[in-house]
Amino acid sequence: MTLAARDLGDTTDGFGEITAGAVTDLGDIDLSDITTAIQNVATFRAQNGAEQSRLGFASELITINKANLEAASSRIVNVDVAEESTQLARWNTLVQAGTAMLAQANGSAQTALRLLQ
């Protein structure tokens, strides 16, 4: 039976690298080699878990920031709509008042003409 050794201690890429070693059969493997390999795998898994945790935290933070930005944008748009609605009501009131004054002025002139006849 042959078993190829794997070196999990190399972290040049940040994730570890599996490479073939020189062990060609089960007789060359020492218990300390197996223990070291298990420890290397455990270390790699711990580092991977830490990286996943950091990525998860960053993802949650981005999601929260996105929600906050959308809420702020919505408030800004709502303020603009309220301001424009107020301006529309103001201008409508001024137009109606002007129309009423013009109608009253026209009515006064016609009353004066009737009195003269």
Any domain includes 110: yes
pLDDT at residue 30 in the model:
77
Q: Which residues pair with 20 in a beta bridge?
A: 6
Domain assignment present for 107: yes
In 10 A of CB 112, how many CB atoms? 9
1 has pLDDT over 50 = no
Domain span at residue 70 reads 26-116
Residue with tokens 């013009």: 102
Q: What's the domain count of the chain?
A: 1
pTM: 0.42
Domain assignment present for residue 7? The answer is no
Q: Which amino acid is at 65?
A: N
Residue 5 lies in a domain: no
H-type alpha helices, 20-116: 31-116
Asked, for residue 89, whether it belongs to a domain, the answer is yes
Residue 1, in any domain of the structure: no
Token output for 73 = 């944008």
Q: Is residue 4 domain-resident?
A: no
Does the pLDDT of residue 16 top 80, yes or no? no
Task: Note the pLDDT of residue 11.
Answer: 54
Q: Is residue 64 situated within a structural domain?
A: yes
